[in-house]
Each structure stands twice: as C-alpha cells, then as structure tokens.
A and B are shown apart, each in its own frame.
Chain A
C-alpha cells in the first residue's frame, strides 16, 4: 500500500485530498458522506464578516423601520427572543460537524477589517475547530491604496488572529499580489502555518442587453489550476510552511500536478458540487493508482519534484509565458 500520508498545518492526515470551503458543509448528511468518501479533513466555508453584518442590519432594519409608527400596527413581525444571526450559528455548526465526523475540521474566517471581527477566531477555536483558514478576500479599488497597504492589511489580520488562537492558521490568498513570495515569507514569519492558493475571485459577467453587471457563480475550470501550479512551484522551495492548492482540481491528474508542484493538501470544490461527495473517493483511488504506477513509495517523494528548484527547466516559471511559447515555436521551425 502506498504511503499517502501528509502533514498539513501540523495536522497529520492520511492523504492530502479534502473538500475546500463550500456550501457543501451546510448539510450534516453531506458532511458525513464526504467523510465516508475519504476526505482527509473537512474545510468549512467562511464565516463572512460582511454578510453577517448585512443580514443583521437587514433584519433589524426591516423589523424596526416600520415599527412604532402607526397606531394599528406597532410591529409587523413576531419578536423571537434570540436570532441565530451572528456567528453563533456558524459556531454551533462547528460543534455539530465535530460531533458528526472523526476527521479534522478546518474552519474559515472571512474578514476585511481589524480586531473587532477577528475575536471570532477565538470562538472558532473554542467551538472545536482543529485549524483555521483565514480568508483575506479584498478588492482594492482606490488609486491611493498602495500595494504596501494592501499587504499590510493581510499581515495585520494574520497577526491579530495569530495572537488570539493556538490552533494552526492558514492564510488563503488571491493571486494578485505583486510580490507574492515576499508576502508569503512575511506571513510565514508572523506565524502562518500555511498558505492556501488561491482564492477565486467572484467575477461578475456583463448583460449586454440590459447594460448591467451581473453577479455570477461559476464552477472552476481545470485550466485555472495552471496559475496555482505556477505559484506553488515558486513558493515551495522557499517556504517551510504548508501549502494547499485550491481552484481547478477536478481529477486525480490535477491533484498529482498540485502535489508535484509542492502542495501539501489539495482542496476540491467545483467537482464535488457537480458530481457529489462520492467523486472524492474516485479522485483518491485514481491518485493512489497513479502514485503506485509511477513508482513513488510516498507522496513526500513526489511533492515538489516539479517546483522551481527541482524541475528540469526552471526558466519556464521565471519567464513570461508568451515569450517562451514564441521561442519554442520558432525553434521547431528552424530545426
């Protein structure tokens, strides 16, 4: 039997394959099915700062703004004692998942502001999460907001969380940093136990008839993996913290690539949403077969073998792709 063991964020896992943050975990049954399918860990979707604030505000607004203003109707809604509006519901769900499955549970926190919100890191830890994925999802739109300030925001948030919790913390990043290795290094230095590469941006589409921008949820595409491979390969030799690949992993082949690039964990979302939790076991089987067929005795052997310092042509990572493709074509023609 092939040794697929992996260490991710200090958690010792039987293999690197796990569902990424998604609404799949809302349903406890699905969570159990994911475990049955062999998931190495359960990654929860994020506790969203903005969404929770918005829901709270909307509920209060819609209940209050028309209240106490008209003699016949001093209110328009029942008045329950307590709403599960805040993070409480999320925290309870951590409890429920922990009780339902034996594998580690990685909770996720999505926030863009400082301390007030980040105390939820503590609560997540108290609720029993084994690790925390910090999802720093932020789109700078101002011409006066420098990349330095954007990066500082990430560092501040990590530091604030790190100082509050003892469980491992991973930082989930977007690919749009001008100096990702340096940022990764800084994060590692400030206590991040791992990086998750990458966040997928919510890219709105255009409705050309209505002249409108339409928010849209789209499944990932295996092509998106290439960007992840690229940066995993660059970061792997330089960072001694965990790296996870997420975005575009749909098959065992994709998982193999991610591991070859240096990933300690691979997170799958779109494929599971499309094909159901059982798809995870297929990926696992295929992965094991590939590893075996290719003569590796453990994943550690193959991890990072196509990273920047070990791959046969490192310039592939360092140069612009366009340049390389053009030269290759030219060379072939003149040979």
Chain B
C-alpha cells in the first residue's frame, strides 16, 4: 500500500481509536468499563488472532482486577521501557488518577484513550460528558479532544506520536457513545502512515530511560521540603514546549494524510462577531449550524478546542477573528461551586492574559459560560441557534445551560420549537426494533455495505433501552454525498422501519417520519388487513404526511427458513429495495457477502438459510394503501395510578418517554427516588405467559421461587375472600395442613412476565394421564392479557398470611410478599431470584448496599425501581455507591445502625423512670431472632412512642426519632463476581475480617455480565470469555475457601434452582449469624450461552457434577463441638462434560481448539475432584473445642 492510497473504513469510534492504539503499543492493560470496553475487546481480539503492531510484535493484552490495577501495570510497563496504552472512562479513569500523577511527574510517554463518560454523583450514568476527563485536569497529563470518528482515529495517532516527542503523557478523549459508538465512514490510516509519523528516535529515547539493572537508576524517591518544589518546577519546559510539539505533529500528519488539524480550529464567518468555543462532538453540530447561518450572512463562528491542556493561550488568541464581540464557552461538565467550568476558566485566563497583546485597544468580548449535554443529553442545531441568539443580546446571560428547562435557577436558554434542521441532501432513516431481532446488527451491516460500495458518507447511531429484557432499539442512519456532521438524533426521517408491530401499541413511531416518507412494517397481517390494525394516531400521521407504507410478514418468513426470531436479513433486504441507495442487485450481493462473513465462520447451515430468506424476501414485500382514519385503538401506555403525586407526574412522564421535557424543579435534589414504581411499567413483552391448571398442580411453589421477575406468585387465603373474585380467577383447596379450609392460587402477572419459561420448565407437576401437560403451560399472552390483568389485580389484594406463624420452607417462603418485582433484568435472569428471596425473608428490615453491575442496573436504573414496600409501607432501602467499594459501603451502614441503636438504648436507659422498667427491659433484652420476635419488638416500639409522646423532654423527642433503631435491621452487600472476586475483593476481605454483622451476597455469574462477558477471577477453567477467548487456563478462585480461612465468617455456596431448600436455609442462617456472612450464589446468565429456560436442569448438572459444590460453613458449630463445614451434596456423580457441553462458553473452546478444550476439561474435572476431596477433609477435621484441649506445650 502506498502513502497516497486512501482507504476508507466504516467503523465506530472505539474501533477507530483501538486500531491506532493497538498498532502503536506493546503492552495494553485494561479493565472493562462502559463505553470504552469495546476498544479493549478489539485489542484482545486482534492479539488473540496474532495481529502485530508496527514493530512486528503482538501486543500483550492483559485484563486487570480494576483500573487502578491496569494503570499500575502500565506504569510499570512504561518504566521498564515498553510503549503502552489503555482505554477507560468515568469511575475507571478516576481510579487511575493517583498513578496518573506519577506517570506525568516522571515525564513518561504514555497515551490513555478515554470514551468520556459521566462521573457518578447523585446517580450513575453510563452516558457521555466530560466530567471524568475534567476530574483529571491536575494530574499533569495533556488532554487532546476528538469530535468525530475520523478525528478520534487521527488524533489517537497524533497523541501517541506527540507523547513520544514531548514526553508528557496524554489523555486522548472523545464523547462516550456519541463518538465511541457512532459508526461512520472514515479515511483510515495505514501502517505506512503510522510508520512515517512515529519518531523512532523518540522511541529509542524512551527505551533508553527504562529501568534496567544494566544501567541502574532509581525513580519514585521520597523528597523533602528542600527539594520537592524545585524538582516539580523542573518539568515546566516540557509543558511549554508541548503545544508546539502537538502542532508540529499535526502538521506532519497533514503532510502525510492531507487532513490538517490545529490546536484550535476556527470555522465560520470571516468577520464573526459571535463565537462559540467548544470541545467534542458538539463542535460537529455547531459547525453545521454555523455553515447554515454564515451562508445567510450571519457573523457567527466556532472555535474548536483540540488540545485542552496544556492550553496554549497564544495559539488560542490567534484563532479568534478580530471582529468578535461575544463569546460563549461550552462545557460538557459541571463543577458545582466553581467560578466557571474548566474550558471557560481556561478561555477567560487566556483572554485576560493575552488579549491586550493580541488585540490592543479593542474591548474584551462579552463572555458567557454554558453547560450542555450532560450524560449524553441531546445537543441539537436548535440549541446552537439559541446560543447564538443569546449572544446577540447585550444582556446575554453570563452563565447558562442549554438543552433542559431550568425553572429553579433559571439558567436555561429558551430553545425555539422549530423543526430541526436537516440538510435535504441527507438520506435519513430511523429503525425501531427489538434487541433480540437483530435490527441493530443488520443496520450496522447496511451502513458498512453502503460505506464500502458507494462514494456516500455514512453515519449510524443507536439508542438502547435501559432494560435488559425485551428492550427496544432505535437506529438512526444517515447517508450523504459529503461527510456527515450531525451529532444528534434524527427528528425527520425519510425512511422509518417498525420491526415489530406491537411497538406501536405504546407509541406512535411514525412521529419521526418526514412528509411522504417511506415506512416499512414487519407485521403478521396481509397487506390489505394491516391498515385496520394500526392505532388511530399512526393512521392519522400516515394520512396527514402522505406516507408510503410497505409491509412484510418477516417473522413468518424467518420461521419458514428456520431463523427463529431473527428477521434481520429479511428486513435489511427490504430496506435496500425501498431505500434505493444502491442498485438492488449490488445490494443483494453485498448482503449475501455480509451473511457469509457473519455466519460463514460458524458453518454453512445458518448462512444458507439466511441467503434463502434474502432471495425470498422481496416477493413478500407489499405496499399498503392508506385507508380511512378510523381506528378505535390508540397508542397508549397504561396509566400510572400511584397515589403519590411525584410518581404520577415525574415517574409517569419518564415511563412515557417524556423525561427530556421535565424541568429541573421536577427532580429530587439529592438523587433520592421513591421505590415501588416498576409495577407501573406494564411492559407487555412476553409473547407467551404461563397458564395454571389447579387440578394438576402439586402446590410446591417452585414456580414462584424461580421467577426472576416476581411475575408468577402464589397465595394461600381464607375461602371467604373469594367472593369478589373475577369470574376467571382460579383457585383450589390448599393441600397443606398448616392452613386448613384455605384456598390456594398460582397467578401470573401477565403484563410483567417476560415469557422466560423458567417456571414452566421447573414445574414438576404432570398430568398423570397426559404427562406432556403440566400444571403450567405456556400460552399466548395477547388473548389472555385483559382477563389475567383483572385476576392479578384481585390476587394482589389478597392478604399475605401471618408471617409470624409460618414455618419457613421453600413452599411457605413463597407465600411471603416479594419486595423486589418486575425488574429490568434479562428474561430468565439467574441473579434476581436470590434478591427476591432476600426481600421475601427480610425485606421489611433490609438495607442493601449494591455494587455497580447488573444488579445495580436492574435494581436502580430509572425510570422505575423494582424494590417495593409491604402492606405496612416497609421495604428494602437500597443504594449503589460504586463498583469497588461496596462491602465497605455496607459496613458503613452497619456501623451507623449499630451506633444509632446504641444511642437509642442509652436514651432508653436514661429515660427508664418515665417510660417504665418493664417496657424498657423488654425493649433492651429482646432477642429478635425470629419473625415473631421482630414483630413483637415493633409493637414495643409503638408503645414506647406512645409513652414518649406524653413526655416533653428533648431526650424523649430524640428517642422517639431513633426508636426504630431498636428493631433489628439487616445489612446486605449485594453484587456480582466482578466486584467480589476482583475490584472489590480488598474491601470485601476487610469486611469479612472485621467481624461486623454484614451479610454479603455474591451473585456469581462467573463473568462480567453487565459490561458484556469479560473474564473475572470467578470464571472457571476452560470457559471462554472476553480476554480468555481460548478458554481460561487457570481455575476459578475459591472465594468461599478464602473466607472460611478466617474461621469467623459464615460461608455458604448455593444454587437456588438445583437445591432450593439449601438456598433458603443458607439465607436464614447467614442472616441470623451475628458476624459477617458470605453467600456465593450460582447465577446462570445469558453470558453462559444457552437457553435460560433450561437453567433449572443446568443448575442441577452443575451441582451433581461437583462443578458447583454446595456447602455451609457455620462458625457457630465450632462452639457446639461440631465441624463448621457441612457439604450439602453427595460425591460428584456425573461427569463435568455433561454440564459443560450444554453451554456455549465451554463449547466455543472446543469449537476453536478441540485438543485444548479436552485438555482443559480434564484439568477442570481433576480440579473438581481435588476440591471436593479437600472440602471433605476439612469437613472431617476434629477441631479443638474452646476451653477444651490444651495448647501445644501445655499450660504456661
């Protein structure tokens, strides 16, 4: 390839950056964090495939236990002479800060690529802004910002080169999601480009500074007042030189590629009076508006900031047109209490310092500081215009926000409600699909095809749901003859695709359609029947805008060709036919090529089926004539009937997708949200739901136990309550002796069920004459929805049985109200049944500290919250602090509870004469070791409050406020294996050692589930995961054994779907144990790669094979002269292979390298038996009893 050959590539920002970083690095240490993870995954994939860097070696890619670990490893690598890089964002970047000071202080070339993401404050957000990057300003790193996929690719190179030349380490950042996940066509750098830019002399110089015993030296000394300050100032020349180094690198880059960048780039009217100064993807949108306005003669302009630090005031001022009168500096971050946001501060300092030098007598322009786009809030052309309008006003706000309505501090600019600007020559398509139907993947393919087969420029951006089950995806695709700069969602599409008709039930998806736009439906109706199936609003829009409707029954076609629910290639074919961007033959050829590329690596069957479906698709595509607007049904979402006004207004608006419209005053100021709101979502995502046959049912309640979404429930209740039941409400006499004369019901929540089939598969009750028929059958949801909704409403009104009278076992536990329901977890989730059980057992006295991960997302991701309250209004209190700190966070809660309880007890004792000895004694001495005892204590507290109310003293008032702390509260730290085994292990270990009464529930999916399947130290030997693509070569860390070593920690390893009774007992024992408890809970997961409907069978295989040994280790037994360890299963009796072959994570290893797989499988099989023997030996040990045997050597 020659230097002049321009090759284009269609890829997203992450890949664009990773390609360069990989080529220019030798050591890559990473830790996954959204939205940067794909960069690391690319690097791992290339390294696994043996791809070489520029110097001909394969970079070493290593996943660490945290970002702190990653940056430390990199610090070591660069000190030892390697070229290194990493990829991170948000809290990950924050964890690197201490080491960043070191790396910069040592003037070591290094480049860190950041997909900039919001830092968690009042809430976590995975979305994009610059708050993470800006938190690192003082580290001494240089900060280079990219605004687009092309820039991210190019500036990644410039950053790697400049750090070598200038010795100052770089953060190269770009907007998380908007740039990191936008797919665009770019001109790609090739090896020749890179080679001609990389300064080999600087590389050699870097290596010459390496620590080596051949030329020993020392770094990292400890300095005293006599030295530190001067030594610190010694770096100044490097920072002074760096802007020049970067510009010089940019110039050389331009010579090589023709793409010229500058530290600050001006764009706009040559005599601009109004300027916006900004960084990141917003610049693309601003430039688009500037072009439009400047063409109309408006004197407006934009200064793009590329090198944020070191901020070159001189270069900056040279960029400004001398006509400028007003400047707005935009920051995509918020620093509460600062005199201005970071970029603004730099600009102000630069202007004040240098203005007179550059512009002499001219008055300083008016300056405003604006915030925009926090957490990926849309930043649109209308907002840009609002800013320029504001700048035209002599009374322009000094401080403003744009993109929201701030009715509290009134900072927000009014944004005109005008139609969004969209260049007419740009083709714009919006596609609504379900996550599981492959819409996004197909669109990515289409964009690649168009990018590669036409001279058109392309852009694709994808919006995902915050739910993991049945989630909606929206794809925004643009194609144009010139590069596309619109860094915002499409509001006026000339092509709209609706990949599932039921999506229209809740929302008029055609609102996005431009007049005369083409609309494509996937619908299970004949073309002539489709019109009458459309809701009124959709019909109205179609007629008013004269839309051209087309339909295909893609699902039927997919079924015919054996493609399951994957309609992607069929819909893609129709898109190409209707969009007419490529000659159809060429498009079909390209689709087929893509199919081979995508599926061919797996084999021929699925590829062939897809090819056949493509060939058949077009004859099933039909136009739909517009009819009369006469539908009776409407697009609507179920009404939120909550008595709480906040929920009815704010939560309801969020559910309806109108969150953007809510003003600042609508929101809590401190991130506190009501619980019990998931019940209002009524997502109706299940195609099939379970139907109950009371005659066949054996009333085991296993269905309710395994349900991940609390969407199938059981109740036992007195007969007379049935009087007002709806006609189709089912019940039958209760079979147990503990509730004579009672009725029993299994009821599905039809609109909350995800259709995962776990309940159906776990159901052991078969019809004796027709065993295929079980007590639960899966039936279509739609026809039963209304009836079952009424039944479920009635069911919910039936009372919970008296909790204090229940003898708890698996069956009776499921009569307790779950206080965790309808979460956004995946269909079939293996974690949520544990959390649900936890809330059933202790929900009314439960505090949960939740580590970041899946459980914090389905547990606390707005719009709604799955944690809820019981009939008395009590329920779990929940919070997520961080990923790495959760055990300590829980410990802090415990300390507070203990402290406040101690205070209350002290006050109680002080006030005994007034309160009365008997009540005080009862309150102080209550054991609270059972449900009944806790309830009794609550009655005592109520009585106490009554008595306190009659007392006037301030102490009595304080005690009344604290009295609830006299009732037992239980603290649980909940999180996944990424937290417990890796990033949070240090803290977890500390809490285990503390002796504090904190319960720790590890939802062990054996992989980083939430960020997409990266290996953790819980990943088993032999399983494939990201960063262990060839199968993990080391055994799973035995966290339970480590905890047992303390001898003071209650430890249990459980698997609810294999041994439910054991799981229940372990929860009860852990909670009752007065010290730290650790429950390691087997959690099946979509990252294991099988249909989770069969998770019950698979959990049984896991336990029977000894893959997941179940046991309890209870230190209380030691004092009774018993061995603390009880292995709660027989010897492993089935081979590991029976378990492993069912899961793609294992099978994939076999499919890659059969010999390696079998060797790993053998090792894991041996490991299982070895581990089991070890447990057996521990369980057989006879331990000296306390006060029994003498210590060795006899009494001293």
Question: B404-457: which residues lie under 8 A (CB-CB) from chain A?
Answer: 434-436, 438-441, 444
Distance, CA A76 to CA B1143, complexed state (A): 13
- The reply to whether B602 and A85 contact each other, CB–CB distance below 8 Å, is yes
A62 to chain B, nearest CB (A): 4
Does A78 contact B1086, Cβ atoms closer than 8 Å?
no
Interface string of A265-279 (1 = CB under 8 A from B): 000000000000000
User: How far is the CB of B1085 from the nearest CB of chain A, in Å?
Assistant: 8
Given known contacts A75-B1012, A77-B1145, A80-B1148, A70 and B606 CB-to-CB distance under 8 angstroms: no
CA distance A70 to B434 in the complex (A): 10
Chain A positions 14 through 55: 1 when the CB is less than 8 Å from some CB of chain B, otherwise 0: 000000000000000000000000000000000000001101
Within 8 Å by CB of B35, from A69, A71, A89, lies A71
Contact A56 B603 (CB under 8 A): yes
Name B1152's contact: one of A61, A84, A87 (CB within 8 Å): A84
A211 pairs with B771, CB closer than 8 A: yes
Bound-complex Cα distance A82 to B471 (A)? 30
A126 partner residues in chain B, CB cutoff 8 A: none
Q: Complex Cα distance A64/B1087, Å?
A: 11
Total interface residues on A, using CB and 8 Å?
40
Q: How distant is the Cα of A275 from the Cα of B177 in the complex, in angstroms?
A: 61
* Chain B positions within 8 Å of A87 at CB level: 603
Interface residues in B168-199 (C-beta closer than 8 Å to A): 177, 181
Contacts of B1089 in A (CB 8 A): 58-59, 62-63, 76-77
Q: Does A116 contact B (CB under 8 A)?
A: yes
A55–B49 Cα gap in the complex (Å)?
23
Q: A64-B441, A80-B1029 are in contact. Are A73 and B1011 (CB under 8 A)?
A: yes
B1151 contacts A72, C-beta separation under 8 Å: no
Q: Which residues of A lie under 8 Å from residue B1152 when comparing CB positions?
A: 80, 83-84
Determine whether B1016 belongs to the interface, using a CB cutoff of 8 Å to chain A.
no
Contact B1024 A77 (CB under 8 A): yes
Task: Give chain B interface residues in 608-631, CB to chain A under 8 Å.
Answer: 608
The residue from B44, B464, B826, B1025 contacting A71, defined by CB atoms under 8 A apart: B464
Residues of chain B within 8 A (CB-CB) of A67 are 441
Q: How far is the CB of A44 from chain B (nearest CB, A)?
A: 15
Contact A59-B1013, Cβ < 8 Å, known A53-B605, A86-B603:
no
Asked if A60 is at the interface (CB within 8 A of a chain B CB), the reply is yes
**B1144 and A77 contact, CB distance less than 8 A:** yes
Determine if A66 is an interface residue (Cβ-Cβ < 8 Å): yes
Among B464, B604, B771, B1029: residue with most chain A CB under 10 A: B604
Contact status A56-B468, CB under 8 Å: no
Q: In the bound complex, do residue A66 and residue B436 qualify as a contact, i.e. CB atoms below 8 Å apart? A: yes
CB < 8 Å neighbour of B435 from A55, A57, A68, A116: A68
Closest B residue by C-beta to A54: B605
Inter-chain residue pair count (beta carbon < 8 A): 156
Cβ of A212 within 8 Å of any chain B Cβ, yes or no, is: yes
How extensive is the interface on chain B, given as a class? 35 or more
Contacts of A74 in B (CB 8 A): 38, 1012
In the complex, which residue of chain B has the Cβ closest to the Cβ of A52? B603
Chain B residues 1074-1091 with CB under 8 Å of chain A are 1086-1087, 1089-1091
Nearest opposing residue in chain A for B1152, CB measure: A80
B473 interfacial by beta-carbon distance below 8 Å: yes
Whether A73 pairs with B1012 at a CB distance below 8 angstroms is: yes
A97-113 contacts to B (CB < 8 Å): none
Contact A83 B1011 (CB under 8 A): no
Q: Are A76 and B1087 neighbours in the complex by a CB distance under 8 Å?
A: yes
Contact assessment for B606 and A68 in the assembled complex, using a CB-CB cutoff below 8 Å: no
Contact A70 B1013 (CB under 8 A): no
Verify if B565 is at the interface (C-beta below 8 Å from A). Answer: yes
- Contact of A294 with B by CB under 8 A: no
Find out whether the CB atom of A66 lies under 8 angstroms from the CB atom of B1086.
yes
Query: Which parts of A212-252 form the interface with B (CB within 8 Å)?
Result: 212
Instruction: Tell yes or no: B1154 within 8 A of A by CB.
Output: yes
- Are A70 and B45 in contact, with the CB atoms below 8 A? no
* B1147 at interface by CB-CB < 8 Å: yes
- Interface mask (B31-68 → A, CB under 8 Å = 1, otherwise 0): 00011011001001100110000000000000000000
Verify if A148 is at the interface (C-beta below 8 Å from B): no
Interface pair A80/B48, CB less than 8 Å apart: yes
| A81 at interface, CB cutoff 8 A | yes
Is the C-beta of B601 less than 8 angstroms from some C-beta in chain A?
Answer: yes
A1 within 8 A of partner (CB): no
Measured in the bound complex, the distance between the Cα atoms of B1011 and A58 in whole Å is 22
| A319 at interface, CB cutoff 8 A | no
Interface residue? A65 (CB, 8 A): yes
Determine which of A62, A81, A210 lies in contact with B601 in the assembled complex, contact meaning CB atoms within 8 Å.
A81
Tell me the nearest residue of chain B to A79, going by C-beta: B45
Q: How far is the CB of A223 from chain B (nearest CB, A)?
A: 29
A53→B606 CA distance, assembly (Å): 8
Known: A77-B1148, A83-B603. A62 touches B48 (CB 8 A): no
B1147 and A55 contact, CB distance less than 8 A: yes
The answer to whether B1012 touches A78, judged by C-beta atoms less than 8 angstroms apart, is no
The reply to whether A84 and B1012 form a contact with Cβ atoms under 8 Å apart is no
Known: A63-B1144, A84-B1152. A69 touches B471 (CB 8 A): yes
Are B605 and A56 touching (Cβ within 8 A)? yes
Q: Which residues of A contact B1147 (CB under 8 A)?
A: 55, 58-59
CB neighbours (8 Å) of B1028 from chain A are 78
- Please indicate the chain B residues that have their CB under 8 angstroms from the CB of A56 in the complex: 602-603, 605-606
A16: min CB distance to chain B, Å: 31
- Docked Cα-Cα span, A73 to B853, in Å, equals 11
Shortest CB-to-CB span from A299 to chain B, Å, is: 38
Q: Which of A60, A76, A210 contacts B599 (CB 8 A)?
A: A60
Distance to closest chain B CB from A89 (angstroms): 6
The complex places the Cα of A212 from the Cα of B772 at a distance, in Å, of 9
Cβ–Cβ contact B603 & A81, under 8 A: no
Who on chain A is nearest to B444 by CB? Answer: A68
B766 proximal to A (CB < 8 A): yes
Contact A71 B1087 (CB under 8 A): no
Contacts of B126 in A (CB 8 A): 71-72
Within 8 A of A (CB), among B1-59: 34-35, 37-38, 41, 44-45, 48-49
How far apart are B410's CB and chain A's nearest CB, in angstroms? Answer: 33
Please report the C-alpha to C-alpha distance between residue A75 and residue B32 in the assembled complex, in whole angstroms.
13
* A70–B1026 touching, CB < 8 Å: no
Residue numbers in A under 8 Å from B606 (CB-CB): 56-57, 60
Q: Nearest Cβ distance between residue A88 and chain B, in whole angstroms?
A: 8
Cβ A69 vs Cβ B435 within 8 A: yes
The answer to whether B1026 and A77 touch across the interface, beta carbons within 8 angstroms, is: yes
Whether B768 sits at the interface, judged by CB under 8 Å, is yes
Tell me the minimal C-beta distance from A118 to chain B in angstroms.
13
User: In the bound complex, do residue B471 and residue A76 qualify as a contact, i.e. CB atoms below 8 Å apart?
Assistant: no
**How far does the Cβ of A256 sit from chain B's closest Cβ, in whole Å?**
36
> Judging by beta carbons under 8 Å apart, are A78 and B44 in contact?
yes
Report if A58-B1090 is in contact (Cβ < 8 Å); known contacts: A83-B602, A84-B1151. yes
Q: Which chain B residues in 552-586 approach chain A with CB under 8 Å?
A: 562, 564-566
In this assembly, does B494 line the interface, its C-beta being within 8 Å of a C-beta of chain A?
A: no
CA gap between A69 and B1147 in the complex, in Å? 23
Cα A58 to Cα B1091 with chains together (Å): 9
**Given A70-B468, A77-B1148 in contact, is the A116-B771 Cβ separation under 8 Å?**
no
Taking a contact as CB atoms closer than 8 A, the residue among B177, B1010, B1013, B1144 that contacts A75 in the complex is B1013
* Interface: B492 (CB within 8 A): no
| B1025, A78: Cβ atoms closer than 8 Å | yes
Chain B residues, CB < 8 A from A55: 1147, 1151
Chain B neighbourhood of A210, CB < 8 A: 764, 766
**Can you sample 11 A-B contacts with CB below 8 Å?**
A59-B602, A59-B1148, A62-B1144, A64-B566, A68-B473, A70-B435, A72-B1010, A76-B1009, A78-B44, A79-B45, A80-B1152
Instruction: Across the A-B interface, give the 7 residue pairs with the lowest CB-CB distance, nearest first.
Output: A69-B435, A73-B1012, A86-B603, A62-B1089, A78-B1029, A68-B440, A211-B771
Please give 13 more A-B residue pairs, beta carbons under 8 A apart, in addition to A74-B38, A85-B603.
A55-B1151, A59-B602, A60-B602, A62-B1089, A65-B565, A69-B464, A70-B464, A75-B41, A77-B1089, A83-B602, A83-B1148, A83-B1151, A84-B1153
Which A residues are within 8 Å of any B CB, using their own CB?
A: 52-53, 55-87, 89, 116, 210-212
